[in-house]
Structure 1
């Protein structure tokens, strides 16, 4: 099942905001990023562009630090497999596999490829790991025709070889001893180092005392984008009242305006203001794609100065986009992002990274 929240729930989309109108006096100072260069503070590193590719049934993703993952689904349903490899000459692959909606038996999980059996170390009751798989296992995955998890969950081999080969090419491993698929005599030491990650420095926390009432000031109600949000949520005065306000600095506040709600997603537009909500300026949050005007299922933590979001592709939360931004004292910088486009039952902590920082 493809991730459909960005398409079917238009109000919930990170890339396409439901409240897109802006007044002519809006400041662009808080539009902190382009689609390909999310903002960050301190080091001016230039990360590589994240990329997601589909190879038949398999999904492959590499992030801005060239850490890559390849995912394969069950032939019908019930399980998945993941191969991950960081960038750089010393990196070694890992293999995870898991069941969906049920736990493994007391014997744990075994991955079978064309009759070869590989035991997994259980990390939970339904997910297992092979920390340092042998080249034989990776070769078997790339060439295998029959993959299964346990005795009853058939995994699709279609696209596995192409996905792993793409990772080799992306990380500069082709023809080296450290390649996943197309290994050669060239030493693994020739593999390029991992690119530098951007450094994000959060501003110091400030006291949250004497915050204003959460009733939107007139300066908000006069804005075209807020009027649209109000119109889109008029069916629920209770949801409309869920305005948030936090202090960013002695003379700055962060206000959140409810803009949509659905079965399992809700969205806010955020504004940085002067004291008591004066002069609201919209925040556009950098992502690995287009900047986002709205944050889905967002929550700001004034202690860590981070704002988290979890845009669910479906209610069980096994696909979607998870993001973290940090307030730097100047803007919100993207700290991390993971995105699982396929609803295959993969836990959120094992989704492929699309953006990292340090």
Structure 2
């Protein structure tokens, strides 16, 4: 239940996300980001011994090709037994309604393979009706569910305004694509280089005053009384600091509260997030807050978000998930963003 709260809270943080959509039906889902690119994901049915998933990506705009990938699940004793008997690289026969459409080459190091354009087209057409979609080697079969695919393809047509056009995924027609949704550029965030992410200290008198100003809502930090009350500080600029302390802890997730504050009293804290759980400098020495939360204990699905210091505040720079909890891969199967940005150093 708390995971749902996390995702909902993260998705509400930025008004830019009002332009993105996320929709799921049975074994299929679609996530469209702020550039209007849509990522369609299908899975095997729940608890299938040999699970498989596909990712179909289509950008906004006319005459767009769909890129498709297939990924085999790596969780469970049965999958381990099957892979142990296969070579490092092996070929799977792609069969739709018992007809072969060629092979895909899978490496045991990654378990992902692109589909050819022909395979992608045939797969897409098969998703519009009841179909038997499998990848097979010897007696081992990975079966993709078609349940929910039609509704998801229709949702993409609606979002990208392809309904009744020649380029529609599901509901094709004779209309041209001149009025389909146009792609949007990835927003740019300009961020300064920071010299250090080391903790800094204030004298006890100032820390006492700061603690009085760092107020939290118990709805956001529901077990705050039981958590460590230590406040940690980091330098952001000559007159701004980042303050953080523990906020909440669940079975396998946790979050801290992060504020931007004045370096001198009065501190006037600006709350950035109660979901983030890490602050660090990235490879370009840009101050970055990150939130990463499991969907369940085995860690096969995550939600992610990040914010970067732009010199005035922490601006949201990424929101996304790894898709549904379907025992595909440790850390999640796919990267499904709803908010993308390009970060450039000032």
TM-score, normalization by structure 2: 0.77
Give the structure 1 partner of residue 212 of structure 2.
222
3-state SS in 2 of match to 1:154: strand
| 1:313 equivalenced with 2:295 (yes/no) | yes
* Structure 1, gaps ≥5 residues long: 18-32, 39-46, 285-292
| 1:37 equivalenced with 2:7 (yes/no) | no
| 1:352 equivalenced with 2:325 (yes/no) | no
| 1:58 equivalenced with 2:20 (yes/no) | no
User: Which segment is superposed worse, 331-340 or 219-228?
Assistant: 219-228
Query: Which structure exhibits the higher relative contact order, with contacts defined as CA atoms closer than 8 Å and separated by 6 or more residues?
Result: 1
3-state SS in 1 of match to 2:150: helix
Give the structure 2 partner of residue 128 of structure 1.
113
Partners of 1:245 and 1:220 in 2: CA distance: 11
| 1:232 equivalenced with 2:192 (yes/no) | no
- The answer (yes or no) to whether the contact 1:211–1:245 under 8 Å persists in 2 is yes
| 1:116 equivalenced with 2:99 (yes/no) | yes
Change (3 A) 1:214 1:165: farther
Give the structure 1 partner of residue 280 of structure 2.
300
Please point out which of 147, 166, 171 is paired with 2:133.
147
3-state SS in 2 of match to 1:257: strand
Aligned residues: 317
Q: How does 1:1-358 map to 2 (within 5 A)?
A: 4-7=1-4, 13=6, 15=8, 37-38=15-16, 49-77=19-47, 78-100=51-73, 101=75, 102=79, 105-106=86-87, 107-118=90-101, 119-122=103-106, 124-130=109-115, 132=117, 133-150=119-136, 151-186=140-175, 191-207=180-196, 211-212=200-201, 217-223=207-213, 225-226=215-216, 232-233=223-224, 235=226, 237=228, 240-241=229-230, 243-275=231-263, 279-284=267-272, 293-301=273-281, 303-340=285-322, 342-346=324-328, 348=332, 350-358=334-342
3-state SS in 2 of match to 1:143: coil
Partners of 2:145 and 2:197 in 1: CA distance: 52
Shift of 1:188: 5.3
Pairwise CA RMSD: 3.4
3-state SS in 1 of match to 2:251: coil
- The answer (yes or no) to whether the contact 2:129–2:150 under 8 Å persists in 1 is yes
Change (3 A) 1:139 1:208: closer
**Larger strand share, 1 or 2:** 2
TM-score, normalization by structure 1: 0.75
* Residue-by-residue CA offset, 1:189-242 (whole Å, 9 max, x unaligned): 6644202433222133245578226989113432473596999355465xx54x
* Structure 2, gaps ≥5 residues long: none
- The answer (yes or no) to whether the contact 1:74–1:154 under 8 Å persists in 2 is yes
Give the structure 2 partner of residue 30 of structure 1.
none
Shift of 1:301: 2.0
Partners of 2:28 and 2:325 in 1: CA distance: 13
Partners of 2:7 and 2:179 in 1: CA distance: 39
